[in-house]
Structure 1
Amino acid sequence: MLSSDASGSGPIYVAECTTCGDASEGAEDTEAPEIWSLQHAGRTEHTGFRNIDTSFSRASLVEGPR
């Protein structure tokens, strides 16, 4: 069985430029990647970004019928 793992950090958010591949640092909220995107757009005129949200899960073994 696979379940959400809340024992560590929460989700990690990253913004990645779809033009050049540069990416923000990972953050525990969306504010820093959003600011990075706006600053990157201002510096480069690149306007497309991929929002990457990483969450964590944990597997637990469950014995079933044999």
Structure 2
Amino acid sequence: MARRSVMRYVDWTLRVDYSGSEPIYEIECMTCGESSAPVEDPGPPQDWALRHAGKTAHTGFRGLNTTFFRAEHADECEPSP
């Protein structure tokens, strides 16, 4: 008994996933490696960086922003307006 396979090639697209968490923001000190708490509002990490600079005179920071994505078949996506 012979087996047959049918292959279908599908285009994929990557979109921001708004169904879960909002983007997550964090700021890390480039001098000592300390970082703010990761939160969904960019304000508290910015405040943390300014307080940290005032206490330590460290002036270099890296912003870490996490956004969530979902891969979907291109033919299942709604067209962009």
Tell me if both proteins adopt one fold, taking TM over 0.5 as the criterion.
Answer: yes
Tell me the CA shift for residue 53 of structure 1. Answer: 1.2
**Match runs of 1:20-59 below 5 Å:** 20-59=32-71
Report % sequence identity.
51
**AA partner of residue 65 (structure 2):** D
TM-score (norm 2): 0.70
Q: Secondary structure at the match of 2:40?
A: coil
Q: Which protein shows a greater Rg?
A: 2
Structure 1: tracts of 5 or more residues without a match: none
TM-score (norm 1): 0.84
Match of 1:3 among 7, 15, 39: 15
User: Cα RMSD (Å) of the superposition?
Assistant: 1.4
Structure 2: tracts of 5 or more residues without a match: 1-12, 76-81
Q: Return the alpha-carbon distance in structure 2 between the equivalents of residues 36 and 62 of structure 1.
A: 41
Q: Secondary structure at the match of 1:20?
A: coil
Aligned residues: 63
